[in-house]
Chain A
């Protein structure tokens, strides 16, 4: 007999979405001029109208951030700055469910993830960095390291509020003020965070949020009043930013794309590894820069492993993101869905073999079934390009050296995974892999105390831990 799941939807009554939003500048919500719709990608329902920030909005936000930097925030002791961050962390914990539901509505990711991963990590980031604010002399940057001033922060749509936390918490802890632009398709939780700033009585202008698209982001990057850029997004845009600031004194951290290799040796615990591979690629619909999007399997276990993987994939529940039993939610936008479909089509035409479990997808909203490609070679585009969707490319290897060569054969270097029961082999492989984060016998784990960031074309700098602070500080004496 089989057990059926009854629908278990989380109530959306906890969120109150306004019909229209403006920007958050100098502690106040100000009306925008032009607006665009933000939708629920699971239903295509219009949730609200978001202001399209222009150069004058960015000007005002930067001016407010500069004023707040010189008049209040840089004058405040680290101890007091820290207390504001603790307050914010506590309010985020109190309002966690509201944030989780709102994030799921606007982004399409399952409530199980927003509730259990995104929002708890958001609060943890503020709590962790709150404690740093009055201990910066111990960050390894000499005595009295100094903030840069105004940080311009541009964040992606895959972990909207979490990426805000990764950026805002260290910036504020180190004494910088912020102009932040959320991603075009996922502004709502950032705007709710603005309310939290008000509730925490954060001084006006310390955090400013300007919503909009790439043009708004570009206005922030090119604004002369910005001293430091923090960007998470595509490698393509990262390179544009690097060029845009080449002639300036602006500092930058860039968290960019990846094509993470998950290497499974023949002595790996197979069932655990299958679970880890599924989490590595299907977590957050594969909209993860550090996703384990290439599975590199030792030849002797490949057939058995792929069979078990298929059995496990057939259990993945795709559907209503607000349902507490949902594993795989909606693709964030039509644009992203088209990109995923295009690259999957390229996988077919280049000769790889596609497989997905049977699953019914809603005809409203944006959906893509969990998918694997076998028979993939290193030359295939699906082995080289970041798909940013629930597609796993499977390659095989015979010798450990070959596994490392395949894993490292990419211009990216963000993440990698190793699966083996042998300690010395794990340490050897983690040493050889050219990636900023290596998960061994686990995958997609994050923590504010743990530095995150990439080698090579996956970006510049680290976020999290002691290492992440250095991005926001000038070395002291």
Chain B
């Protein structure tokens, strides 16, 4: 830890302990490990938890338990809860911008813009909840006396490994949960601070516990376990470098995990990538 001369101050700041977010609670890593985030000048910002494989497994259990309930909520309800998250985020915009600026060294203007962009994207995403069937479903004119329709459904538990930024984190989580999936987010390095403040937003937003679980630490350590975990259905590896993707895909083949990475603007394709398509047939007759 960098040292600076110590002088008494009029009021000592109360600093936050950054922990993990699993099943709606804020536990430390079971491993007891932390890592240090420093400013560009080497000043210590925080000691977030360095999540372990066991934390990942706990998070998957929580995500699996929450999934059917979240998927069963009406699309209108999911949309409202997501919109509520945007409302809470707006109130935390200053705090998030300060944290992003501190942890990543970007200007406060840039950090502020990033937070506002994230909020607007989140609002855009919230509105998709009750339009997915219209966009990705169909009624199919089969040649016979059958009513035949196709609807998209959530896949289940999705792991996301976003790049090291708040916006990338938001871009990974929102499309995964809007359809009714639950998420285990693997947040790398300096993105941990804003992500854990976001966890506080989630905790006060009527989002059921376990729908979003946030682990901070290292992709290199956690992503291979996520890829091989048999109770994870999909994996967004947008934040994983190209040369490391192949190994994750090989590991994910064991349960034919849906593994995708995305570049460029957020699009509804990113939602549909973590949905299944169900087709139902029923005879028509008197």
A450 with B256, Cβ < 8 A, contacts A436-B276, A445-B281 known: no
Chain A residues with CB under 8 A of B258: 460
B31 at the interface (CB under 8 A from A): no
Which listed residue, A254, A452, A460, A465, touches B138 by the CB 8 Å rule? A465
Which residues of chain A have C-beta atoms less than 8 A from B283's C-beta?
A: 441-442
Contact A451 B279 (CB under 8 A): yes
Q: A124-B143, A238-B256, A465-B138 are in contact. Are A246 and B249 (CB under 8 A)?
A: yes
Least CB distance, B71 to chain A, in whole angstroms: 10
Q: A449 near B140 (CB under 8 angstroms)? A: yes
Q: Does A447 contact B (CB under 8 A)?
A: yes
Q: How far is the CA of A452 from the CA of B138 in the complex (A)?
A: 13
Q: Are A453 and B277 in contact (CB-based, < 8 A)?
A: yes
* Chain A 421-437 interface residues, beta-carbon cutoff 8 Å to B: 426, 430, 434-437
Q: Is the CB of B281 within 8 A of A440?
A: yes
A467 interface hit (Cβ, 8 Å): yes
Which residue of chain B has its CB nearest to the CB of A450? B140
| Residue among A243, A435, A450, A467 with max Cβ neighbours from chain B (10 Å) | A450
Query: Number of B residues contacting the other chain (C-beta, 8 Å)?
Result: 33
Task: Verify B144–A445 contact, CB threshold 8 A.
Answer: yes
Known: A436-B277, A436-B278, A453-B277. A239 touches B150 (CB 8 A): no
Let me know if B256 and A457 touch, CB within 8 A.
yes
Q: How near does chain B come to A387, taking the closest CB pair, in angstroms?
A: 20
Per-position 1/0 for B250-285, Cβ under 8 A of A: 101111101000000000010000001111111100
Complex contact B282–A411 (CB within 8 A): no
Could you count the A-B residue pairs with CB atoms below 8 Å apart for me: how many are there? 104
Complex-state Cα separation, A239 to B246, whole angstroms: 14
Which chain B residues numbered 143 to 169 have a C-beta less than 8 Å away from chain A?
A: 143-144, 146, 148, 150, 155
B78 to chain A, nearest CB (A): 16
A192 sits at the interface (CB 8 A): no
Give the contacting residue for A254; candidates B246, B250, B256; CB below 8 A: B256
Among A247, A438, A441, A475, contact of B279 (Cβ-Cβ < 8 Å): A438
Does A242 count as interface, using CB distance less than 8 angstroms? yes
Q: Say whether B280 contacts A246, CB under 8 Å.
A: no
Say yes or no: A460-B256 contact (C-beta < 8 A), given A447-B148, A450-B140.
Answer: yes
Q: Is B124 an interface residue (CB 8 A)?
A: no
| Contact residue among A238, A440, A442, A467 (Cβ-Cβ distance under 8 Å from B150) | A467
- Identify 8 residue pairs between A and B in the complex whose beta-carbon atoms are under 8 Å apart, listed by A's number: A140-B136, A246-B250, A247-B249, A413-B276, A436-B277, A437-B278, A460-B258, A462-B277
